[in-house]
Amino acid sequence: MNRFYIFFSSIFLFATLEGKQPNFILFITDDISWDDLGCYGSKVAKTPHLDQMATEGMLFHGAYLSISSCSPSRCSLITGRYPHNTGASELHTSMPADQPVFPEALQAAGYYTAISGKHHMGKAVNRGFDKVSGGKGPSKSADWVPMLQERPKDKPFFFWFASSDAHRGWALNDKAPLYKPEDIEVPPYLYDGPVTRKDLAEYMHEVSRTDYYMGQLRAELKRQGIEKDTYIIYMTDNGRPFPRSKTRLYDSGIRTPFLIARPGTIAPAETRSLISSIDISATILELAGAKKDKRIQGVSFAPILENPKATVRDYVFAEHNWHVYQAHERMVRWKDWVLIRNAYPHLQNLCMEGDPSHPAGAELWKMHAAGKLNKNQLDIFQKPRPALELYDLSKDPHQLRNLVADKKYAAEISLLTQLLDRWAEDTGDTIPKNPTPNRQTPEGKRFKGWKHGTQPGTSRGATRINHPGPIRE
């Protein structure tokens, strides 16, 4: 990408009606996988508002989160930094006060900023917002329209709206359709039984409820006559809360649905260009004409909004750290290749949503004990696990066939391993000598005296490292 193109791309994107600064709504859902929306190919999902947004704006096929775990994902997003660089890389660790919060830069540029709904990042984040709300209703989304109505009318705005849907437990209501278990699509790595189907059906209800609130938001923007002045972004913090999805580095856990619309500015399009969630802060700041904090490791994908074939990065990286169970996995994607490296191959790769206390997990464990699972459904029971996994997404979208042992892929393995090594070195990532252990047994029994260990990157002072790691070939 040459400087001439980037310059004129930015000029185009900065242009607004009457020279106004654009508004932004960042809509973050909880625990929804990228392919559980109609616009991403689901034959079951009833998501008409998001599907319409996809036809009117830009749909990303290559958007990745930096981590597939709730609070670390949100902390990474709001800082524009990799989780091990934020000091909040594990579940339920609050972000340190010395980390950047990109809405602060928007405030400095004249924006009114507000956050509503699921927070999950710690009190230090609040300094970036003029208004902080815990949200209302089962999805925490019921006060979003009133906040749009009651905002100061003399300032551009940035709203961080975070739904608690589709986090467990399910809260069925009249804001979305009910799904029949027999109509559900069951991923090949889950057991296709009545309990799992019912569990997925209730999950899909909450997916549709996020769609309902997107419809409410877009309708309110139209009522106020500011739809053409507003970038509206839809994404999630990690994949569906089921075994082999949430907390994992497969696409089911780490790839996010990502839609962005602004009528009259973003032409309808789809793009396969890679972006990372750490890039969102840099992009919003560029589009707002606000100053980017030097600690942000992400890059702006504004050029892609002008040209869907443009690229701003050739690689995306992601991590999986402690989330109830001990973990240290790292992922890199390049083209259609994905390499995952596991520092603890001797451990089962578990997540709380996959244990026997949750319906789909319980059925999976029951069928495992009965010897009724196929090889694709055995993932969470593997012990030991492979230290390296290589997948070709063009031929294996569910990432079920590990190609590491095939010698004809030696060049790809070497390249991707080197990239992970460079990224770890550049960004200060480490494998802790005193890692956080499992908090409980797979059956949910808490261990006495449990406490957090050392987070990755601590020994190298990763919270003070701003290097972005490899970005372009």
Tens digits of residue pLDDT in 112-126: 999 999 999 999 999
Domain boundaries, the chain: 3-311, 318-464
Q: Give the residues across from 162 on adjacent strands.
A: 28, 117
Question: Model confidence over 47-95: pLDDT tens digits?
Answer: 999 999 999 999 999 999 999 999 999 999 999 999 999 999 999 999 9
Residues 3-14: what's their mean pLDDT?
42
Q: Which of 35-39, 295-299, 443-447 has the lowest mean pLDDT?
A: 443-447
pLDDT band at 443 (very low <50, low <70, confident <90, very high): confident
Cα separation, 165 vs 163, in Å, equals 5
- List the one residue out of 200, 212, 239 whose CA is nearest residue 137: 212
Question: Model confidence over 133-154: pLDDT tens digits?
Answer: 999 999 999 999 999 999 999 9
What's the pLDDT score for residue 444?
A: 83
Q: What angle do CA 304, 305, 308 make, to 5 degrees?
A: 50
Residues 215-232: what's their mean pLDDT?
98
Cα separation, 95 vs 85, in Å, equals 10
| Interacting residues of 336 by C-beta distance below 8 A, sequence separation 6+ | 392, 393, 394
Q: CB–CB of 140/120 below 8 Å?
A: no
- Straight-line distance from the first to the last Cα atom of the chain, in angstroms, rounded to the nearest whole number: 12
What's the pLDDT score for residue 3?
A: 40
Cα separation, 351 vs 2, in Å, equals 44
Share of the chain above pLDDT 70, in %: 96
Instruction: Report strand pairing: 258-261 vs 388-392.
Output: unpaired
What's the pLDDT score for residue 13?
A: 47
Give the per-residue SS3 of 298-319. Answer: CCCCHHHHHCCCCCCCCEEEEE
What's the pLDDT score for residue 355?
A: 87
pLDDT band at 17 (very low <50, low <70, confident <90, very high): very low
Whose tokens are 């970036």? That residue is 128
3-state helix, strand, coil in the chain (%, to 5): 35, 15, 50
- List the one residue out of 389, 361, 390 whose CA is nearest residue 377: 361
Second-level CATH architecture of 318-464: 2-Layer Sandwich (3.30)
Q: Is the peptide bond before 166 cis (omega within 30 degrees of 0)?
A: yes
| Interacting residues of 417 by C-beta distance below 8 A, sequence separation 6+ | 339, 341, 388
Q: SS3 of 275, please?
A: strand
What's the pLDDT score for residue 19?
A: 62
Helix or strand (DSSP H, E) at 260: strand 258-261
CATH code of domain 3-311 = 3.40.720.10
pLDDT band at 35 (very low <50, low <70, confident <90, very high): very high
Instruction: Compute φ and ψ for 319, nearest 5 degrees.
Output: -140, 160
pLDDT band at 23 (very low <50, low <70, confident <90, very high): very high
